[in-house]
Structure 1
Amino acid sequence: MGADRTEGERLTELAKRRGYYFGSNESYGGTAGFYTYGPQGAALKSNVEEAWRDRFAVQEGNMEIDAPTVMPEPVFEASGHLDGFDDMLVECAECGESHRADHLIEDNSDLEDAETLSLEAAAEEIAALDLVCPNCGAALAGQSVESFNLMFETNIGPGSSTPGYLRPETAQGIFVEFPRIKEYARNRLPFGVTQVGRAYRNEISPRKSIVRTREFTQAELEQFVDPERDEPDLSSVEDVAVTLYPASEQEADDGEYVETTVGDAVAEGVVANAWVGYFLGVAQEWYERIGVDTDRFRFRQHLPGELAHYSSDCWDAESEVDGDWIEIAGFSYRSDYDLSKHAEYSEEDYTVFRQYDEPKTVERAVVDPDMSVLGPEFGGAAGDVKAALETLAERDPDAFDADEVTVEVAGESYAVATDVTNFSVEEQTISGEHVTPHVVEPSFGVDRTIYTLLAHAYEEDEVDGEERTYLSLSPEIAPRDVGVFPLVSNVDELVELADDVVADLRAAGLSVVYDDSGSIGRRYRRQDEVGTPFCITVDRDGLEGEGETTVTIRERDSGRQVRVPVSELAAELGAVRGGDRTFDDVAAEYDELTDA
């Protein structure tokens, strides 16, 4: 069934027809790179986000914040996004359509990492491959490849006096607020801060529906650690099996996957950073929990040319759909880049005080500049010159050996006689020191995770001689928990009991759809196609049988049915949804119908 369509085409058709997602603004011709989640998709997205919060915030004991999506320009000057957040653009000379050069190259060659090419090398590759414009077919050879910054620019307030940008990642909102957040953590490392929210990138050529869009949702964790003291406890994940694709294997002619465990990967240096290894293990188990097909899943290490400007090492979680590998999460060791940059640009304190076990006596270089000299000589800059001298004394005491010392303030050089600085070396007793934390970042693409879940859950089979399409979604993340059907809709007793069942299940916090239209088989098929795990049928046998009133629970994937007392229904379904029980547990306790 559907053999003539690709996996992505089947998924896109179902998503639009059944209300998972569809292109936005279609009444006005549509807007590339923007998607609206329908009733099913919005519910699935919410469930995925809650499952992520449960694992990466609640179970890890981390905090969560919700920062604005618009931030002022200096934030992105400090972060490096204004200078280094670019993609390769090539424009067709005939129709004017813009394309991502690295995507064109990858789509038409065996090269998998074209983004590592220089602009000149990408242009040469386009010419060598005789690539043409996908829009009009004109040759692209000879066209220059340019850098295109992906930031969406805006103005904050009237006029253009305060430029700002839509955030390209949620992370900067966490970093900027670090001076306040560290107080909530009582200045004790390690601690983590999570955020789930929208991010924006002005993609050159959005594609693959919700895989590459201009507005998307991220779920990110910034783990702040003391690089000299803090190590993760790997005991909970050391035996987790993972499929790794290290950079060394990617670069080898006969490179292969490394099938190993997290503990062995860290011990053998395949994953160099223990914190990164820890989160790979946590993520592996989480992806299995929500229903990613682990046979179509791997962790791939970034090649040196792929690494972001802030990252010293990075591994991507990738899923396979339609034969292509899609990045769905990244696990990056960002060192102290972000906090150091924001400290430099904002002049706020982005450090945490590290208490010594016992006080230490140390020699410290200090200055006490004579302001009666600096003031008349440097005017309004005197205070900044004094601060620069204090910083220089800490960083490079030997600079004060000469008769004169020079410091730089706001791009201007100031020479000060050394005797005016009152430089000296003093013994001080200190109880600790200020350290800039390092950051480990697991960053998840929520939309790409949803795309993966739907693609991996999509199944086609035959039931009772009829073709069936169903989504084998985990009960935890399925948009609807249960469908409730009176076997026939013209018997008041059945309808009344079905209404009571719906009310009880909703009161228990379950998402319920009521359907009395069409044959029972058609109603089953409708719920199967949107991934509803269970359907409840209210029939005469349940009303007229001996003992308690019962209904049947039908399991989506197998079609098996179990007769369960109405009084136990909400508790049983809630336990299965929460992962405390399985349908097999329920079937073993109650009467399973042999004719499913």
Structure 2
Amino acid sequence: MSEDGQSAATESTDETSEPTSGKLVELAKRRGYFFQSSGAYGGVGGFYTFGPQGAALKGNVEDAWRDRFAVAEGNMEIDAPTIMPEPVFEASGHLDGFDDMLIECPDCGTSSRADHLVEDNTDYEDAESLPIPEVEEVIAEYELVCPECGAGLADVAVENFNLMFDTNIGPGDADPGYLRPETAQGIFVEFPRLKEYARNQLPFGVTQIGRAYRNEISPRRSIIRTREFTQAELEYFVDPEEDEPDLESVADVAVTLYPASEQNAEDGSEIETTIGEAVAEGIIGDEWVAYFLGVAKPWYESVGVDMDRFRFRQHLAGERAHYAADCWDAESEIDGNWIEMAGFAYRGDYDLSKHGDHSGDRFTVFKQYDEPQTVERATVDPDMSYLGPEFGGAAQAIVDELEALAARDRDAFDGETVTIDLEGETHEIPLEKTGFAVEEETIAGEHVTPHVVEPSFGVDRLVYTVLHHAYREDEVDGEERTYLDLEPEVAPTFVGVFPLQNDAELEATADEIVADLREAGLSVTEDDSGNIGRRYRRQDEVGTPFCVTVDYETIENPETTVTVRERDTTSQKRLPIDELAETLAAIRTGDLAFEDL
């Protein structure tokens, strides 16, 4: 399933680029961005801890997502539990259809994802969309081997493996439950209450940012594929007959698209177009999906994704999730590999209909007509004194089928008898015993099952992309420098403050500046360790956009200015202390540019 930035999407291999990723992962561990969890106990695959810098970056990305997809769009936000009872996932289809392809080495017992083995060792790029028998044929044809011990896998069966973590809810004869594999179900199951908060008015959206869990067969590539990850999801509920998106507001957004038709063509390639043109030409079939692609593109750019390494790729028919009528992924290029960061799916009424059927609750919205309407309704009032003796325990099933038949085909009641098919048997019911009638009824509205449009973002993969696209190496004053070109909006620390020397007066002034900047809502670090050049390098490496140095000119000059250094160009300007907080805050919000000071 590829709805959330956790599934594989299209991953080619390019071993020559691995050193870049290796440098980033090393930097991430050393500077407190992310590292494998439980290292004291040898670590555990697929689980990562975000350190002080990483947690701050991740939080800033989540806040930026919330601002755009919840606040700016006028959507609600909830926070649902991460453990849910088994019936939820019976209804959603996850118990039966949430699988990956597993192949187990007969010699060493190593479990691998069969589609990943195919993609990593053959020319197939989308093995996830292939049926299991075809994957087995490819493994045999290419004589693929176990990546751990080298044993041949040609005759080993590929099996489906359900990715959900199971648990028990309560002691003793506990109820079975599962850690949620997506945050979406927490929104869907609460729809009967959430629609009341929306005053039963469509369209409306509900967002959630939270943890999800998948027991990945072969987690890999640090935080790109993990077993615990964070999703930011929006479920947008619409009336499919009436609601239309504001396409005009995103029509001119330029996008790079890789539709299924181009992927299936021998000489297929990406298409450069706009959202408006893509809809007009039928490249993007659903207008709501197109709208959210248009919203997402500039947002991705604002948080630091390189637009030269970004595209939207349409799912092939074989890889779409069981609920999705259509789906496009937001993908970023990492070291020659395209990875999925988000899925934009049109889920139709699948989820709400399933939960309505399984729970018995009403997962619909009542749509009021402008004026009451008079309609004809076919009804039945069966004669139970006849049906009971005639059909015994099946009498109620006969009644249910008569009611369903009257609703869908009143012409079936035109003759002297009515034919009922029940469990493969045909029964003839005398018309007079059915109580069939057609009555006029005045109704004020109807119950509508909303359709769902879902932009689902993988936060961890986005964080990795932002870091990777921000990674830079250059030379300053004859020394090699590594720095992260992070956008000010998401940088973990916005400004570093340094007293030039270990001097009581310089340190006191630096302390005052730190307090003022924090009061202005800026993230600040203070560093007085080592020479000023090393302190600059430390902040450059974690992506701090600006550094403020308190020097002797600060305390000797009546104008009390400080040196402000910009990270990317290393250029410096002197600014008055009393204007510092206001100026830096304006730069962070984009209202002022450093070069214009």
Distance 1:509 1:413, change over 3 A: farther
Q: TM-score, normalised by structure 2?
A: 0.93
1:339 aligns with 352
Distance 1:179 1:407, change over 3 A: farther
Distance 1:393 1:9, change over 3 A: same
Distance 1:416 1:346, change over 3 A: farther
Of stretches 232-241 and 357-366 in structure 1, the one that deviates more from structure 2 is: 357-366
Give the deviation of 1:257 after TM superposition.
1.0
Distance 1:413 1:567, change over 3 A: farther
Q: Does 1:91 align with 2:78?
A: no
Instruction: Map Cα deviations across residues 29-74 of structure 1 (whole Å, 9 max, x no partner).
Output: 1111111111111111111100000000000000011111111111
1:570 aligns with 581
1:532 to 532, 541, 544: 544
Alpha-carbon distance in 1 for matches of 2:573, 2:385: 91
Q: Which amino acid aligns with 1:550?
A: T
Q: Which amino acid aligns with 1:561?
A: Q
Q: SS at 1:295's partner residue?
A: helix
1:592 aligns with none
Q: Does 1:154 align with 2:167?
A: yes
2:219 to 196, 199, 206: 206
Q: Does 1:14 align with 2:46?
A: no
2:268 to 237, 251, 255: 255
2:367 to 354, 360, 378: 354
Contact 1:487 1:494 (8 Å CA) reproduced: yes
Aligned residues with identical type, % of pairs: 70
Alpha-carbon distance in 2 for matches of 1:17, 1:551: 30
Q: Which amino acid aligns with 2:357?
A: E
Give the deviation of 1:6 after TM superposition.
2.0
Of stretches 347-356 and 451-460 in structure 1, the one that deviates more from structure 2 is: 347-356
Distance 1:412 1:290, change over 3 A: farther
Alpha-carbon distance in 2 for matches of 1:93, 1:426: 68
1:517 aligns with 529
1:426 aligns with 439
Q: SS at 1:478's partner residue?
A: coil
Q: Which amino acid aligns with 2:231?
A: Q
Q: Which amino acid aligns with 2:266?
A: D
Contact 1:7 1:321 (8 Å CA) reproduced: no
Give the deviation of 1:405 after TM superposition.
5.9
**Aligned ranges 1:62-141 → 2 under 5 Å:** 62-141=75-154
Q: SS at 1:579's partner residue?
A: coil
**Aligned ranges 1:539-554 → 2 under 5 Å:** 539-547=551-559, 549-554=560-565
Q: Does 1:446 align with 2:465?
A: no
Contact 2:482 2:540 (8 Å CA) reproduced: yes
Instruction: Map Cα deviations across residues 419-461 of structure 1 (whole Å, 9 max, x no partner).
Output: 4442211122223221111111000000000010000000000
Instruction: Map Cα deviations across residues 96-129 of structure 1 (whole Å, 9 max, x no partner).
Output: 0000000010011121110111111111101111
Distance 1:40 1:377, change over 3 A: farther
2:250 aligns with 237
Distance 1:346 1:559, change over 3 A: same
Contact 1:408 1:414 (8 Å CA) reproduced: yes
1:265 aligns with 278
1:558 to 556, 569, 588: 569
Alpha-carbon distance in 2 for matches of 1:340, 1:478: 42
Alpha-carbon distance in 2 for matches of 1:347, 1:90: 39
1:303 aligns with 316
Of stretches 501-510 and 291-300 in structure 1, the one that deviates more from structure 2 is: 501-510
Contact 2:250 2:294 (8 Å CA) reproduced: yes
Instruction: Map Cα deviations across residues 2-50 of structure 1 (whole Å, 9 max, x no partner).
Output: x995221111111111111111111111111111111111111111100
Alpha-carbon distance in 2 for matches of 1:383, 1:578: 67
Distance 1:360 1:388, change over 3 A: same
Give the deviation of 1:414 after TM superposition.
9.8
Q: Does 1:499 align with 2:511?
A: yes
1:294 aligns with 307
Alpha-carbon distance in 2 for matches of 1:545, 1:378: 103
Contact 2:332 2:338 (8 Å CA) reproduced: yes
Of stretches 415-424 and 35-44 in structure 1, the one that deviates more from structure 2 is: 415-424
Q: Which amino acid aligns with 2:546?
A: F
2:68 to 49, 52, 55: 55
Q: Which amino acid aligns with 1:94?
A: D
Q: SS at 2:467's partner residue?
A: helix
Alpha-carbon distance in 2 for matches of 1:96, 1:4: 30
Q: Does 1:326 align with 2:329?
A: no
Instruction: Map Cα deviations across residues 499-553 of structure 1 (whole Å, 9 max, x no partner).
Output: 0011111122211111001010100000010111111111111222243x22121
Alpha-carbon distance in 2 for matches of 1:414, 1:79: 35
2:593 aligns with 582
Contact 1:405 1:418 (8 Å CA) reproduced: no
1:590 aligns with none
Q: Which amino acid aligns with 2:540?
A: D
Contact 2:401 2:420 (8 Å CA) reproduced: no
Contact 2:419 2:426 (8 Å CA) reproduced: no
Q: Which amino acid aligns with 2:553?
A: D
Runs of 5+ in structure 1 lacking a partner? 588-596
Higher relative contact order (CA 8 A, sep 6+): 2
Q: SS at 2:529's partner residue?
A: coil
Give the deviation of 1:384 after TM superposition.
7.8
Number of equivalent positions = 581
